[in-house]
Amino acid sequence: MNFFSLIVLVAIALLGMNSCAPQPTKEVPEPYKKGQKAFHKICSNCHGSDAMGKHTQAPRLIDEEYLAPNFTDDDIRETALNGTDKMPSQRKNVTKEELTEIIKYLRYSQKAAGLEPEEEEEDEG
Ligand code: HEC
């Protein structure tokens, strides 16, 4: 059926476009891809691909210092929106939804890197 082939072609074209975007070095599971993409678009320039902050001006966020007990989701949100002395505000570059996805992605990456808070707490989610 022609309509169906058209859909397939459009899907292939979209996938092709996707692969032109800057690629992170780490593969993340599907639920975190959106956040990873947003991070790459908005934060990577300074924080490094995969938030490792290598050779960049900004700290790596995959670090104990930024685990949830030390640096909460709200802290990340506030930092991104308001900036700090050294980090410019990203309020104009990031949407609320993107920020939520970015935080999800960062938390996943911290875990994937083997970083765990001292005590396991299940008070969220
Ligand atoms: C233009 C460069 C730049 C961009 C873009 C940027 N940051 Fe930063 N970020 C910095 C710098 C520089 C620091 C260190 C700030 C400091 O020490 O006060 C920082 C610090 C941080 C911190 C730690 C703050 C603290 O108090 O320790 C967090 C969290 C953070 N950034 C999150 C983000 C997120 C999330 C994004 C994307 C939405 C982002 N940043 C985009 C430059 C940037």
Is the Cβ–Cβ distance between 106 and 39 less than 8 Å? Answer: yes
- Evaluate the CA torsion angle 108, 111, 112, 113 in order and state its sign: positive
Residue 23 confidence (pLDDT): 47
Residue 35 confidence (pLDDT): 96
18 close to ligand 1 (CB < 6 Angstrom): no
Residue 103 confidence (pLDDT): 97
Distance CA 9, CA 56 (A): 40
Residue 24 confidence (pLDDT): 54
Residue 94 confidence (pLDDT): 97
Distance CA 10, CA 56 (A): 38
What six digits make up the tokens of 12? 């292939």
Residue 22 confidence (pLDDT): 44
Distance CA 16, CA 59 (A): 33
Residue 53 confidence (pLDDT): 72
Work out the end-to-end distance of the chain between its first and last CA atoms, rounded to an integer number of angstroms: 45
Give, using CA atoms, the residue closest to atom 6 of ligand 1: 43
- What is the distance in A from the centroid of ligand 1 to the CA of 16? 31
Residue 69 confidence (pLDDT): 95
State the closest ligand 1 atom to the C-alpha of 99, by its place in the atom list counted from 1: 38
Testing ligand 1's pocket by substitution, the residue of 39, 46, 56, 73 carrying the most ligand atoms inside 8 A of its CB is 46
92 close to ligand 1 (CB < 6 Angstrom): no
**Residue segments in the chain with a per-residue pLDDT below the cut of 70:** 1, 12-25, 54-55, 118-125
Q: What is the pLDDT of residues 49-70, one digit of tens each?
A: 887 776 677 999 999 999 999 9
Instruction: Identify the CA nearest to 43 among candidates 20, 22, 71.
Output: 22
